[in-house]
Amino acid sequence: MSEPSAWQQRIAGEWHGRPSLFDHTGTWCGYEEIRRSSDFVDGVTTYRMDGGLIGGGALAGRFRLGAPFSFGVIDSDANRVYTGPDFFGTGQPYGSFVDSHYYGPGWQVDLNTWNQVLPDGETQVYSSVLYQGWAVVGCFNGVYTRVPSLVDELIENETRCGPTPYILPTKESGSFTGECELWGADQKLRGTVQVSIGLKPIDLLRTRRLVTWQGAGLDREFAVETRRDGNNLFFEGPDAYGNAIGFGRASFSSLHLTDVWKIKGREFSIDASPGMNAGRQLSVVYELFHGNSLDSVLHGQLEWTP
């Protein structure tokens, strides 16, 4: 390949962040100080990750290493292949979002990484769910920037806000709304969708949620009552059933509609902070399945309106 892929051009430069580490229950354990970069030289892409773990509790021995990560990438907008030595696997881009599945010998975990570049083009919402076989071991997630003048501010904010649990407004009705992109499983853009997540709190732990999608052939509305128990969410009908777990500001959900459709999603409360600030900006990614087959990927950024 003589030119880098569209995704490679999108993530050029050095990205800085301080993602938080959570154990399998969603309990905060520490920070990972990270600088990530990739370069495309003479048709060869190399990805580098440098940093170290701060804290980590019982997970520190597994996720603290003595050298930076480095691995080759076969660059493509179809399948990005990670060729080692520090990560082996593949990633599939859908516009400004990539879904990667790979193995890290140093950490001894299988990873499912979701990396979403926000509409400003300079901010990434990143998460890696870490697996031992089919069992979740933990999760890294956080926000990154590649703007040098914003690095100190972002690191300070991630230090303060990284451990904040995913809790949406509990005494204020309103909706998160915005325009999202819909990409087919063939990685081609189908169009834009107006997304609304309407919230009507019942009490401090239960909320009626009304989800509306309009556009790109995805016109659908479904209502579901959500119940929170610690870091866990439960979706209890009438139009969808399932559950979710929160790792800090990120909630990872599995939702079954009352027909053949299923949703695997991540909702990340970008600006939630300690105290009672539930956040007003929500980045969302939903993988939509028809039966067991991936049909499409819906992603974007939503804003809160009371």
Distance CA 119, CA 195 (A): 15
Question: d(Cα 172, Cα 165) in Å, to the nearest integer?
Answer: 18
Residues of the chain with pLDDT > 90: what percent? 83
Peptide bond into 85 cis (omega under 30): yes
Residue 213 pLDDT class (50, 70, 90 cuts): very high
pTM for the complete prediction?
0.96
pLDDT of residue 1: 55
206: amino acid identity, one letter = R
- State the pLDDT confidence band at 221, using cuts at 50, 70 and 90: very high
Question: Which amino acid does the sequence have at 251?
Answer: S
CA max distance for the chain: 59
Token pair for 197: 């997540």
- For 154-172, give one letter per residue: b (16+ CB within 10 A) or e: bbebbeebbbbbbbbbbee
Average pLDDT estimate for 145-168: 96
Q: What is the mean pLDDT of residues 91-98?
A: 97
C-alpha distances in angstroms, 40 versus 2, 3, 11, 96, 129? 10, 8, 11, 18, 27
Considering the chain, what percentage of its residues have pLDDT values greater than 70? 99
The pLDDT value given to residue 36? 87
> What is the distance between the alpha carbons of residues 273 and 157, in angstroms, rounded to a whole number?
9
Report the pLDDT averaged over residues 239-253: 98
How far are the Cα atoms of 42, 72, 222 from residue 3, in angstroms, in the given order?
9, 16, 43
User: pLDDT per residue over 56-85, tens digit each?
Assistant: 999 999 998 878 888 888 888 999 999 989
Q: Is the pLDDT of residue 268 over 90?
A: yes
Task: Give the per-residue pLDDT at 65.
Answer: 80
List of domains in the chain: 6-161 (2.40.128.20), 174-305 (2.40.128.20)
Which residues sit opposite 191 in a β-bridge? 182
